[in-house]
Each structure stands twice: as structure tokens, then as C-alpha cells.
Structure 1
Amino acid sequence: MSIDTDASKEGSFRFPTAFTILFGLIILVAALTWIVPAGQYTRVQNAALNKEVPVAGTYAITDSAPQGIVEVFMAPIRGFYDPAAGTANAIDVALFVLVIGGFIGVVTATGAINAGIERAMRGLKGREKWMIPFLMALFAFGGTTYGMAEETLAFYMLLIPIMIAARYDAVTAVAIILLGAGVGVLGSTVNAFATVIASDAAGVPFTQGLVLRIVILGLSWLACVAYVMRYAERVRLDPTRSLVYDMKADNERHFLSTHHDGAEFTTTHKLVLALFALTFVVMVWGVLKGGWWMGEMSGLFLASAIVVGLIARTGEKNFTDAFVNGARDLLGVALIIGLARGIVVIMDAGKITDTILHWAEGAVAGLGKVAFINVMYWLQVLMSFFVPSSSGLAVLSMPIMAPVADFAGVGRDHVVTAYQSANGVVNLINPTFAVVMGALAIGRVPYERWLRFMWPLLVILTVIIMASLSVATVIA
């Protein structure tokens, strides 16, 4: 399938950028606050979760809080930093992205990445396609064990030139990371930010339903790997079949890597790349074992950038220029993160989140087992668009939706699996999820091209999940 390049001609329709899409969603949600009744559940502190959770049966209409033009323009600002939001701000993620950009800029300026990519391509010649399942397995492991999401933003600027050097495209690189980690979250097994929180909120052990989640994880991962490998091979054989082929003139990074054939792979390059790899290893260790989050990870990448500069003897001015230029490359990504968070700010301020949850609670009342679990899945899909955070959606929906399962004769663990699968699927394309929009911005992949790439796979994943949930519910 070749892309019609006429779409880029003057006077033709151009799909809005990510910034326009997100700001349009802020306006849409603000408009909904004038239509959807405001309401709230009574909330109590849950000691196990250390969070306030809604109490089933306590929903009540409250004073409306429609969001106007001032709130619309303040939403992106409060998305970055709102003192009332506590830890729910996006400023730490945005700063993390900028520091990553600076780190990558310094490493790239040493020439180590270019030389390393060339050496790797020579070693992998003829076997490049096997990088895809291997890397997707690594990212899926991160997703299923600890909900790897924002941390993946550090990998795109590394993997994109590697995939392009292997004669694939930026879509392939984005898919490997976003789908790899995303399918892991979709099939979370011991993910503390999804499965464990949701199970605790539902009142069941997180190990209950583990077999079903492993089945969904395995089948979904196989489907994603086969889908990405098929697309990548088509692009390798015929670059015109790439979904971003017509953008080559605007951005050569889609098809041309910055490395140069014959580049010498020096000892300095080897030391820089060793430190580069070690930085990511330390980052993963810090998240899993050290309780790190964005602040600590940003400090790590800043320190590593300085050490790289010292090893390569770049000089103060060249180091500063490389760091600032690298951060500048990801400035748009940082802005997108705050803009995406602004949508949630408007919803919460308008007090319509609990109303949507209350409508969902009523929609599943009185249904049979199979109908119940499938309607539950689709309700969680809907709510995931408004609450992309896996932990946020778990704390919000599980205390209400899990008890309803008792009346339908469905295990609460199945409700947990429906929730995490739905949230995982939606967050592969969710424009309100900063990780998705940030990844596409780094890869220079327009949002509508990503939707075009994803829609057949979304159908496949939905069939896998719904069939698995239905069978598990019947045989339970």
C-alpha cells in the first residue's frame, strides 16, 4: 500500500497536529462539564492503597462546576504544575524528557552512536528482523512487571536510528517500544501500578486470575510481534509502503540515519556506549529496587551526560551546545505531556469523572455472566480515555465495579483483568496518554498515521481479550 503524496500539496486537507488534537479535547471536555451532571462518591481512606477510594452506593449529585474559557487556557498550565494535584503533575515527566534529550544530544555529538550502529548493522546483516521480537520481549517484561511507560521515552531516540539503519522506518521503531511495553501492561501479571492496586481495591489477592492474564499476555504479544514484523518486512522490501514515506522530504530522519559508512569505532566510542548502556541498566534498577521516579532518573541522565562529556573530552562549550540542542529537540514532547494532562485537570475540576463512573455502574446491572464481563470491558475502555493512568483508573473504578460482579456471579479477578486489558489497549492509541503522544512526537509520526497503522491490530487484540474473558468466565 503506497501513500498518496498529494495529501501534502498546498490546499489539501492536513490532519491536525498533536497539539491541536489535545487542545481540542480540552475544549470538548470543558463543554461536557456544561452538559454532564456534576456528581461525587463519598471517599474513604484505604490503608492498603494509601489512597482515598470511592464507596459504592454513595453517588450523589453535587453543585455543577462548568469549565469556561479561563479554565480551558489554564488547563495546560495546571497540567504541568497544580499545587492542589499533589503528585499528579506532569512537570517532573516533562523535565525528565528534556534531560533525556540533552543526554542523547551529548552522546550523539561524540559520534559513538553513529559508529556503534554501523558496527551493529554489519554484525546483524541478514538477521536484523530478529531484533524485533527480542526487543519487544524486553519491553513487554518491563510492562508486565512494573508498568513500564514514561521510562520508555528514553529509548526512542536510540532505537529510531537503529531501525532506520536496518532499512525499516520510524513507525517500526515506535511500534517496538510502544507496543512492546504496552502489551506488557495490557497483560500485567505482577504490575504494582495496575494489577496489584486493582486487586487490592477489588478485595482479592493479585495472584487470583494470574493464569488468565498470562494467556492474554502471551497471545497478545505474539499478535503484536507478528504484526510489527510483517509491517517492517514490507517497508524493508519497498520503502514506499511505509506510512511515513511521503514525509521523507520534510524529515529525512524517517529514512536516513545520521551515521556514516566507514566510521571508525574507537576506544572512546566503546567507553561512551558502555556508559550509555549502564545508565539505562541503573535506571531500571533504581525504579525496581530503589524507589526512584522522575527526579532521580533525571539526575542520573544529567550525571551520565557530564561523565560522557569528560570521557570524550568535548570541552565545556561543545558539551553545553550539544546538551541544549538535544533538549531543544524534545521541547515539543515536553509541551505535549503537559497538554495531555490538562484534559484530566478539566474533568476533575468539572466534577464529571464520578458521574461517568456512576453511569457505568448502572450499565452492567442485571446482565448475565458473559454479557457482564464484555460490557465491563467496554466500559473500562470508555473510562480509560478519560482516566489514562492505570493506577488512577484502578483506584477510581474497582471499589465500585468489582462489588457489582458479585450480583452477576462473576469473579472479581475477572473484573480486574477486564480493567487492565481495556486500559492497556486504549493506551496504545490514547491521545490523552502523554506517553503515546510523546512517543509519536519523538518519532515524528503523525497521530493519524499511527491510528492507520494500529486499527487492524486493535481489532485482533480486542478479539483475543474478549474471547479470553468470555471463556474464563464460563469455565470459572
Structure 2
Amino acid sequence: MILSQKKKREFPTAFTVLFIILILAAILTYIVPSGKFSRLTYDESTRDFIITDHNDETKAIPATQEVLNDLHIQLDLSKFEDGTIKKPIAIPGTYVQIEQQPQGVVDVIKSPIIGVMDSVDIMIFVLILGGIIGLVNKVGAFDAGIGALSKKTKGKEFILVVLVFALTTLGGTTFGLAEETIAFYPILMPIFLISGFDAITCIAAIYMGSSIGTMFSTVNPFSVVIASNAAGINFTSGLKFRIVVLIIGSIITLAYMYWYAKKVNQDPKNSLVYDESERIRERFLKDYDPDKVIEFTLRRKLIFLVFTVAFLILVWGVAVGGWWFEEMSALFLGVAIIIMVLSGLSEKDAVNTFVAGAADLIGVVLTIGLARAINIVMDNGMISDTLLNYSINTITGMSGSLFAIAQLVVFSFLGFFIPSSSGLAVLTMPIMAPLADSVGLSREVVINAYNWGQGLMAFITPTGLILVTLEMAETTFNKWLKYIMPLMIIMGIYSVVALIIGTMI
């Protein structure tokens, strides 16, 4: 007689996936040679260039155009003087292999702690958001709002997907909407579930909206603008072509999302997260009863209005006001206090509800810190510059369309190890962009290859936002891979075709 059934194997959690990658990153620091490019920064106070070599020794030299030309940095001096370029620039031809910097067991164990300390601004934002979600749920404002919305969208549910995707795409392509989308999942997931969609569709509408927007960026200051500046061209160069590519890419993505959503609608068992659907609904709809009518009272409407206005202010602050997580966290802390006052709860009940809501997202914030730990290990192992140097040597000598496609592949590869769009741009563009000149192509081709290559890899890069997103949505990485890989292949082919067309116009 079988006393117990063999446990069904489950895909590891986001924590385990990230820790495995952390160990692999540490192993790479033993295999990949350590190396560094010399870097150049501009000192506004003295109006000097500061050059830092591979030994971290610095020297100051007058900031002149002649110096930039001598260093083969094909940028105008004015880009440094007006503050357009603030981060250190890698100096072409200065790569030097240095003493190996392997990251051992102690370094690996310490890195998540350092990662948490480095990511505390994002973590505070997420915890405050979790507290607000707890408050709003406690007073029934979400349930009442969802009930009212579901009646109005009956039979037109996919409009919700299109609307969310369009707004996040617009945010991604204009001001780099990315980390801020973490705030959307607790709000939109219940609405998507009530509307008949699964968790994957909600993730796709939000995450792929911002990802497609940033991938096919038009005026995003954190990618195309900073990359264009670092490449020595105006970011408006090739703008019309990028807009067309963005529109077509968005239509392709929406068509794929519609195909999947329709398949799930016809048979819920077609959902990739069907086995987890009960657990997901328990998390996001634990207090929702479709047969129970919750009155959308004035109190609940006011709370819902405050919450909605806060997001509009958030978008304005990030897009126009130059906000980052300090300002965003302050905004939502103020919103939390207002909701506490409006809720009608006792002081003790309100505070305890806020704390409990924040506690629900502890797993998410720890995922953020662990993802950052991977970057810390690679940075301390000094292998990023080596990977860049290998990439440069690989594409040197190629020409025409082959050069453009190789650039796309290289930036996809580098994007896995350097998930920061601005960091990758400043590190690579002073070296990569002039290579286009040598093969008779516009530097716009390199900018597009950078945007599309890194953006494509962002669909699945564990060191980026995707694992944090999946942790927020109670979904595992393998389910996301099953969903996204066909679309990733389609978008990869589309990007190659668009790049080839770009070399011809």
C-alpha cells in the first residue's frame, strides 16, 4: 500500500532562480578574465577632464575638444559642459586585462546584503504601496470599484488589455516607465481576474507594455536620448522610423496577447497558470464575492479617487518633475495617511492594516535585493568590460546588414549582464558608435541595435524586473518563459528585419 504519493516537482521560486544565477555569476568571475577600460569624467567645478586608469589612478587634464579627439571620443565638448553626459565614459582602445578578481563564497553570501542596502529606495516604495493596498482592501474600496467596472466592461473585456498596454507602452517609450509598474499589479490584477483573464495576461499587458515601449523607444531619456548623446548624434535623428517600428511592434504584441487570451477564454485549462489559478485568486480576490453587492459609497469613492489621482501625479512626477523613488515613496506615504483618515478605521486598526499590507510584499522586496546582488558580484569581479571588449572584437570587420545584426546580438548579450539601459549606453556607445562610421552606416543603426537588443533580452533577464514582477503576481519563471518565448522569437525576427531596412534608408 502506498502511504504517500510522490510530490509533484515544482519549478523553483524566484529566490532560488536568482540564487542559482548568483552562483553562476560568481563562477564566471573565475573563468572570464578581469579587465577594465580607462574612463573619462568631467569636473564641472574645475572644468577639467578626470581620467581614471585600470589601476584607479586619476589625472586631470584641461577639458578641450582636442583632448576628446586625441582620445578617439567622437563627442562635442558641449555635451559634457551642459551636463548632457554625466556618467564616466569608457575610452576606446584602453582595455587592459587586470589581476583576476574572483568572487568567493563570502562575497556571494555578502552580496544579497549589499544588494538590499543598494536597493532600499525601491524597497521602501514597494512596502508603502503594499500598506496602501491593505488599507484600500480593508475598507472594500477595491471590491466596490471592481464590481462597478466589471459591469461596464461586460463583453468588451479586451479593451482593458489594449488600454493598459497602450498606456504603459506610451510611458515606456516617452519617459522610461519600468520600475514604477510594480505599483500597478496589486491594483490591476484583481480587475483582470474578474474580467476573465489569467495572471499571465495581466503581466503581459503591464510588463510587455512598458518593455515594448522602452525597447522601441522614441524619446526615452534613459535609453535613446542618453545613447544618442553618448554616440554624438541628436536623438531626433531617425525618430520617424522609430515611431513606425514602435507602432508595428505594438500591434504584433497585442495580436499575440489577443490570441492567448482568446484561447484561455475558450477553455480556462489552456491557461499556463491554470494549476496556480486558485492560489492566485486567493491572494488577489480573497475578500471578493461575486454574488455579494458591495455598495460604492461616498467614502469608498473618495478613497478610490485619492488612489487614482496619486497615480496620475506619479506619472507626471516621473515624466516631467524628475522624480525618483524618494519622491514617489513620499507621495504614497502622504496618500496612505489621507486614506487612513478617510477610512473610518480606528488608529490602531488602520496602522495594523497598513503594516500587514506591507508585510504581504516582503517577498517582493527581498527579490529586488537578490537581483541586485548578481550585478554586484559581476561588477566586483570586473568582467563587464572584458565582455564588452570581446564583443567589440567579434563585430570588428563586419559590414552592412551583417554588422547591424551582429550589433543586435551583441547588445542582447550585454543586456543580460548589464540590465541598466543608461549604464550600457554610456559604457558602450563611445566605442560602438564609431564602428558604424568605418563600415559606412549611420550611427542611428547602432542606437537602434542597442535599444532593440537590450529591450529584447529584457523580456526574460532575471537580473531585471521580470522575476520581481512574477513574485508580485504569484507566477513562476518557467510559466512566463512558455508564454513569452514564441513572442520573443517573433520580435527578434521583426527587429532584424527592421534593422536591415534601417541600413537601406
The alignment's TM-score, normalised by the length of structure 1, stands at 0.94
Name which of structure 1's ranges 149-158 and 393-402 shifts more when overlaid on structure 2: 393-402
Cα distance in 1 for partners of 2:285, 2:314 equals: 29
In the alignment, which residue of structure 2 is the partner of 1:431? Answer: 462
Verify: 1:371 aligned to 2:402, yes or no: yes
| Residues 14-65 of structure 1 deviation map (CA, whole Å, 9 limit, x = unaligned) | 2211111111111111111111111110100152311101011111111211
Q: Would the aligned equivalents of 1:381 and 1:426 in 2 still touch at CA under 8 Å?
A: yes
Alignment of 1:273-288 (within 5 A): 273-288=304-319
The Cα of 1:255 is off from its aligned counterpart by: 8.7
Q: Would the aligned equivalents of 1:102 and 1:322 in 2 still touch at CA under 8 Å?
A: yes
| Residues 93-127 of structure 1 deviation map (CA, whole Å, 9 limit, x = unaligned) | 11111111111111111101100000010111111
In the alignment, which residue of structure 1 is the partner of 2:90? Answer: 54
Q: Structure 1 regions of 5+ residues with no counterpart? A: 1-8, 82-88
In the alignment, which residue of structure 2 is the partner of 1:3? Answer: none
| Residues 254-283 of structure 1 deviation map (CA, whole Å, 9 limit, x = unaligned) | 795642331111111111111110010111
Verify: 1:113 aligned to 2:142, yes or no: yes
In the alignment, which residue of structure 2 is the partner of 1:15? Answer: 11
Q: Which secondary structure state, in structure 2, belongs to the residue aligned with residue 430 of structure 1? A: coil
The aligned amino acid for 1:11 is: K
> Over the residues paired in the alignment, what is the CA RMSD in angstroms?
1.4
In the alignment, which residue of structure 2 is the partner of 1:355? Answer: 386
Q: Which secondary structure state, in structure 2, belongs to the residue aligned with residue 58 of structure 1? A: coil
Q: Would the aligned equivalents of 2:193 and 2:281 in 1 still touch at CA under 8 Å?
A: no
In the alignment, which residue of structure 1 is the partner of 2:375? Answer: 344
The aligned amino acid for 1:455 is: M
In the alignment, which residue of structure 2 is the partner of 1:73? Answer: 109
Cα distance in 1 for partners of 2:287, 2:407 equals: 48
The aligned amino acid for 2:93 is: G
Q: Which secondary structure state, in structure 2, belongs to the residue aligned with residue 66 of structure 1? A: coil
The aligned amino acid for 2:35 is: G
The alignment's TM-score, normalised by the length of structure 2, stands at 0.89
Q: Would the aligned equivalents of 1:118 and 1:259 in 2 still touch at CA under 8 Å?
A: no
Q: Would the aligned equivalents of 2:186 and 2:284 in 1 still touch at CA under 8 Å?
A: no
The Cα of 1:215 is off from its aligned counterpart by: 2.2
The aligned amino acid for 1:137 is: A
The Cα of 1:198 is off from its aligned counterpart by: 0.4
CA 1:258/1:414 → structure 2, altered by over 3 Å: closer, same or farther? Answer: farther
Name which of structure 1's ranges 256-265 and 417-426 shifts more when overlaid on structure 2: 256-265
Specify which of 198, 201, 206 is matched with residue 235 of structure 2: 206
The Cα of 1:453 is off from its aligned counterpart by: 0.5
User: Greater helix share, 1 or 2?
Assistant: 1
In the alignment, which residue of structure 2 is the partner of 1:235? Answer: 264
Q: Would the aligned equivalents of 2:189 and 2:284 in 1 still touch at CA under 8 Å?
A: no
Alignment of 1:403-418 (within 5 A): 403-418=434-449
Verify: 1:31 aligned to 2:27, yes or no: yes
CA 1:55/1:49 → structure 2, altered by over 3 Å: closer, same or farther? Answer: same
The Cα of 1:129 is off from its aligned counterpart by: 1.1
| Residues 430-459 of structure 1 deviation map (CA, whole Å, 9 limit, x = unaligned) | 1111x2111111111101100000011001
Cα distance in 2 for partners of 1:317, 1:156 equals: 27
Cα distance in 2 for partners of 1:160, 1:73 equals: 34
The Cα of 1:78 is off from its aligned counterpart by: 1.3
Q: Which secondary structure state, in structure 2, belongs to the residue aligned with residue 44 of structure 1? A: strand
Q: Structure 2 regions of 5+ residues with no counterpart? A: 43-79
Q: Which secondary structure state, in structure 1, belongs to the residue aligned with residue 30 of structure 2? A: coil
Cα distance in 1 for partners of 2:307, 2:154 equals: 23
In the alignment, which residue of structure 1 is the partner of 2:75? Answer: none
Verify: 1:293 aligned to 2:324, yes or no: yes
The Cα of 1:210 is off from its aligned counterpart by: 1.3
In the alignment, which residue of structure 1 is the partner of 2:298? Answer: 267
The aligned amino acid for 1:419 is: Y
CA 1:322/1:279 → structure 2, altered by over 3 Å: closer, same or farther? Answer: same
Q: Would the aligned equivalents of 1:115 and 1:259 in 2 still touch at CA under 8 Å?
A: no
Verify: 1:327 aligned to 2:354, yes or no: no
The aligned amino acid for 1:171 is: I
Q: Would the aligned equivalents of 2:89 and 2:430 in 1 still touch at CA under 8 Å?
A: yes
The aligned amino acid for 1:74 is: K
The percentage of aligned residue pairs carrying the same residue is 41
Cα distance in 1 for partners of 2:308, 2:501 equals: 43
Q: Which secondary structure state, in structure 2, belongs to the residue aligned with residue 384 of structure 1? A: helix
Q: Would the aligned equivalents of 2:280 and 2:473 in 1 still touch at CA under 8 Å?
A: no
| Residues 113-149 of structure 1 deviation map (CA, whole Å, 9 limit, x = unaligned) | 1000000101111111111111111000000001101
The Cα of 1:290 is off from its aligned counterpart by: 1.9
The aligned amino acid for 1:242 is: S
Cα distance in 1 for partners of 2:365, 2:397 equals: 45
Cα distance in 2 for partners of 1:159, 1:259 equals: 14
Q: Give the number of equivalent residue pairs.
A: 459
The Cα of 1:464 is off from its aligned counterpart by: 1.0
